[in-house]
Chains A and B, each alone.
Chain A
């Protein structure tokens, strides 16, 4: 055999990448056909049917063998037990108007939706009430940005490897914006704008736009063109 090392093999594998025009067009047509036949949507329905069959079969077996719990065999179900409360509330679609928006009606007409991003991680996995949830409540329900900032700082200090660290850092920057601490906000947003925060590109575009606004605002305050 050859004396090629791993790098040579990888270089050869790299060459496999391109496809010719005919193949590209063929696959595109296949994708179109499959979607037209509803293949993309067919699979979940298939799973649903299978799940229903299993559920019906299981319940029938339970009735037949008398192994179903009492509650399933006649007693009315307890709704409160059937629907577990989520660990974190869903974020409201829009940020409610602030005190400042009342003071400046002309600007308040603009759509204000600086909604902090939802957490990256699965919310159901978060034990409630968590420090992050407390900050979330302060931000959304109490609109107390100073307290939310303190809560986020507390969360980041106590759980530096916590599940919502990235979201907490970004939302902390939003709190600073709300509090008009623009220099601090700019510093907090800079790593997001540079794309230095994992996962790559998280809120990068929004951070860049916020930084541009901060720069424009600073120029306006300083009288620069």
Chain B
């Protein structure tokens, strides 16, 4: 009887991610495509929110999946492949955040010129534009935070993930995640208050 119990973990039916991870580890390039198909939407949503710019977010998605064949060596299987990919995205985000910051500043300068010329007056009424402006303002405030706090804030607040999930993604204890979130929110409130 004991022997059948010993074999329990061996008879576990592998799920799709397990198979995918095995193939990724073996260097199967089709497996990267499969991972992209399965997880691109979640990674893209996070990347765009993290860097605050769709085009730069797309670059981050690209880098995340290109890094996957190498990064998968560090996958321990204690979180889902999607969580792991989000962690890879965080690790590659720094350069893209700087790039998005430069792009946002250039766009702001252009928009200011248009407003000065009266071109933006009609568009100002649009709900979509207002939403975009709020998102830009938050992204600009996020630029003032360290990457670790920024990533935790986006994962917890914009993506509404639990602190347990976020801890697995960023590889930090849950308590640290909560502390980072608290500091991030406090700082963001100050920053957003300043620009009003």
Which of A's residues lie within 8 Å of B, judged by CB?
1-6, 8-19, 23-24, 26-28, 30-32, 34-36, 39-41, 43-44, 95, 98, 100-101, 104, 107-108, 110-115, 117-118, 120, 177-178, 180, 198-203, 205-206, 209-210, 213, 217
* Of the residues A1, A3, A23, A120, contact of B58 by C-beta under 8 Å: A23
CB within 8 Å of A: which of B172-196?
Answer: 173-174, 185, 188-189, 192, 195-196
Which of B's residues lie within 8 Å of A, judged by CB?
1-12, 15, 29, 32-33, 36-37, 40-41, 44-45, 48-49, 52, 54, 57-58, 61-62, 65-70, 76-80, 83, 130-135, 137-139, 141, 154, 157-158, 162, 164-165, 167-168, 173-174, 185, 188-189, 192, 195-196
Where chain A touches its partner, the secondary structure class is: helix
Measured in the bound complex, the distance between the Cα atoms of B36 and A26 in whole Å is 12
A6/B189 in contact, CB under 8 A: yes
B157/A113 in contact, CB under 8 A: no
* Of the residues B4, B58, B76, B132, contact of A19 by C-beta under 8 Å: B58
B134/A2 in contact, CB under 8 A: yes
15 sampled A-B residue pairs with Cβ under 8 A: A6-B188, A11-B134, A13-B135, A16-B45, A17-B49, A24-B40, A27-B40, A35-B29, A98-B3, A100-B1, A104-B1, A107-B3, A110-B7, A117-B77, A198-B167
